[in-house]
Structure 1
Amino acid sequence: MSDESMKREYYQALVERDSAYDGIFFVGIKTTGVFCHATCPARKPNYENCLFYKTAEEALLAGFRPCKRCKPLSFPQKQLPLVQKMVALVEENPEKRWKDSDFSELGVHAATARRQFKKNYNMTFVQYARARRMGIAMNAIRTGEKIINTQIDSGYASSSGFHDAFSKIMGRTPNRSRKIKILYAKWIDTPLGPMVSIADEDFLYLLEFADRRGLEREIERLRNRLNAAIIPGATKRSDQIKEELHDYFDHELSMFETPIMFIGSDFQKSVWKQLMKLKMGETATYKDLAVLIGNPKAVRAIGNANGANQLAIIVPCHRVIQSDGTLGGYGGGVERKKWLLAHEQSEQ
């Protein structure tokens, strides 16, 4: 079944409130900013305003909040009082990064909270809180609207919750300091899922899949290194990489030309530069790379440098495999790595 056929099938199930599809998909509604399960009793949106996700976490990361009518986080069983309370706490304080001590203050053991969330939603409470926090930032980037105009759609009674949650990811807002470097984040839809670029008019600093684990930390490292704030918007470089990615996925590009800026140690930069010498359709092992940079014993360090790469696809860490021929890990997920290699090799 094609992606379009699947989306049409899911939309029909949504219109008919087909309970057989509850838990199979979640739908994000662009016009309201909420996500629902298949049997939501609310008035049905138009097809073009629907985005479909396999998990609640994906919908959260895309910037949607749980619908208050159908309570999608209550499926497949009634939401426990503890879980209900914790979800409400996230909405009250979305920028908060939860620690074990926070659970103790609530009279709850962290392991209990983790277990109950994992059982119901296939993610821990910390994952949920992170996904909601990241979703706020991603939603602002995806819509491209000014921060002050998106707070209402984000479900907050006042602007402070939205500003604080956004700033937790993207850094201080511009009006707090005139010395802060301003970078612009742009949402890019691709066949492998949405990506986020961060750039100024001169360079591209980050290109990552929006659902990558650790993206929040990557962004934090970037803005701390550059004393930067990141706001939604487009630049000459973000427009350039968007066009080049389109050509890449259409087999019409063999080399990226968008000017990039490496943010890392000298060793990491040496690894990334070596990676960029790998042509499309080629692969190398971690050991190969260690030899090429003149440090044969640095295999593990090569792996760490790959993991710290902030320019997915452009700096092709997906072309690095294990010595036994297996794929190894990939920040964007092994399935994406497999797809990218097959895509590039099919061009040869």
Structure 2
Amino acid sequence: MSKLFQVDYQTPIGVLEIIGTEEAISSIMFAEQDVVVHQLTKETPPVLQTCYAQMDEYFQGLLQDFSFPYIYDGTDFQKSVWNALTTISYAETGSYKDIAIAIENEKAIRAVGSANGKNKLSIVIPCHRIIGSNGKLTGYAGGLWRKEWLLEHEQKFKQQ
């Protein structure tokens, strides 16, 4: 198993823990802490430095698509859901049903919701863009208030 590295990024809505190997990012999650513990240093692997820089650009409204390498560990079904999530464009939204249709398993709406909740690559795999089919906000591991902030942030900066 590859050695894991971590760097924390202070966002306007809390600390993001960025975890990865020297090759790819494996987790970007909001931390239950108020301060940055793992600082960005010269020794931080380049892939984590790139992720950190792209998160900074995203939160400044300068970046809409991420290009650093990432990996996710899950079942084939979960991976199909996470791949489908990446097709939801910046500042757009979709529903669990939309994702179920996209993966050609229309009856799997609840399973799609479960897979969505297991996403460890917040923002990059944009589970925050999933809303209820009634247009209301649905669960978000980082908290609904963060989901609402992220959606409003993207609306503010989307290209006309």
TM-score under structure 1 normalisation?
Answer: 0.42
Secondary structure of the residue aligned to 1:321 is coil
Please state whether the residue corresponding to 1:194 is helix, strand or coil: strand
Runs of 4+ in 1 over 6 A off after TM superposition: none
Cα deviation code 1:130-167 (max 9, x no counterpart)? xxxxxxxxxxxxxxxxxxxxxxxxxxxxxxxxxxxxxx
Once residues 2 and 64 of structure 2 are traced to their aligned partners in structure 1, the CA distance between those partners, rounded to angstroms, is 32
Residue of structure 2 in register with 1:210 after alignment: 31
Q: Secondary structure at the match of 2:104?
A: coil
1:257 aligns with 2:78: no
Residues 16 and 30 of structure 2 are in contact (CA less than 8 Å); yes or no, is this contact kept in structure 1? yes
Q: What residue number does 2:47 align with?
A: 237
State which of 137, 146, 154 in structure 2 corresponds to 1:344. Answer: 154
Alpha-carbon distance in structure 1 between the residues aligned to 2:45 and 2:136: 38
Q: Which protein has the larger Cα radius of gyration, Structure 1 or Structure 2?
A: 1
Kindly state the Cα deviation for residue 260 of structure 1 after the two structures are TM-superposed: 0.4
The residue number in structure 1 matching 2:108 is 298
Between the aligned partners of 2:145 and 2:6, the Cα distance in structure 1 is 25
Q: How far apart are the structure 2 equivalents of 1:197 and 1:327?
A: 25
SS in 1 for 2:7: strand
Read off the aligned partner of 2:124 and give its amino acid letter: I
Q: Distance in 1 between matches of 2:141 and 2:79?
A: 18
Name stretches of at least 5 consecutive residues in structure 1 with no aligned partner: 1-179, 213-232
Output the CA distance in 1 between the equivalents of 2:156 and 2:9.
24
| Distance (whole Å) between structure 1 residues aligned to residue 9 and residue 60 of structure 2 | 15
Give the match for residue 7 of structure 2. Answer: 186
Residues 32-71 of structure 1 show CA distances to partners (whole Å, capped at 9, x for unaligned) of: xxxxxxxxxxxxxxxxxxxxxxxxxxxxxxxxxxxxxxxx
Q: Distance in 2 between matches of 1:284 and 1:181?
A: 35
Q: CA deviation at 1:264?
A: 0.5
Q: CA deviation at 1:211?
A: 1.8
Q: Secondary structure at the match of 1:205?
A: strand
Distance 1:234 1:265 in 2: 30
Query: Per-residue CA shift, 1:201-244, capped at 9, x if unaligned?
Result: 110000100129xxxxxxxxxxxxxxxxxxxx721111111100
Secondary structure at 1:207's aligned position in 2?
strand
Between the aligned partners of 1:298 and 1:329, the Cα distance in structure 2 is: 17
Work out the number of aligned pairs and report it. Answer: 149
Matches within 5 A, 1:67-78: none
Q: CA RMSD in A?
A: 1.3
Q: For 1:188 and 1:339, locate their aligned partners in 2 and report how far apart those are by CA, in whole Å.
A: 17
- Which residue type is aligned with residue 295 of structure 1? N
Identify the structure with the greater helix proportion. 1
SS state at 2:63 partner: coil
Match of 1:313 in 2: 123
Structure 2: gaps spanning 5 or more residues: 34-42
Instruction: Give 1:181 deviation, angstroms.
Output: 2.8
Aligned 8 A contact 2:2 2:21 in 1: no
SS of 2:6's equivalent in the other structure is strand
- The alignment status of 1:267 with 2:77, answered yes or no, reads yes
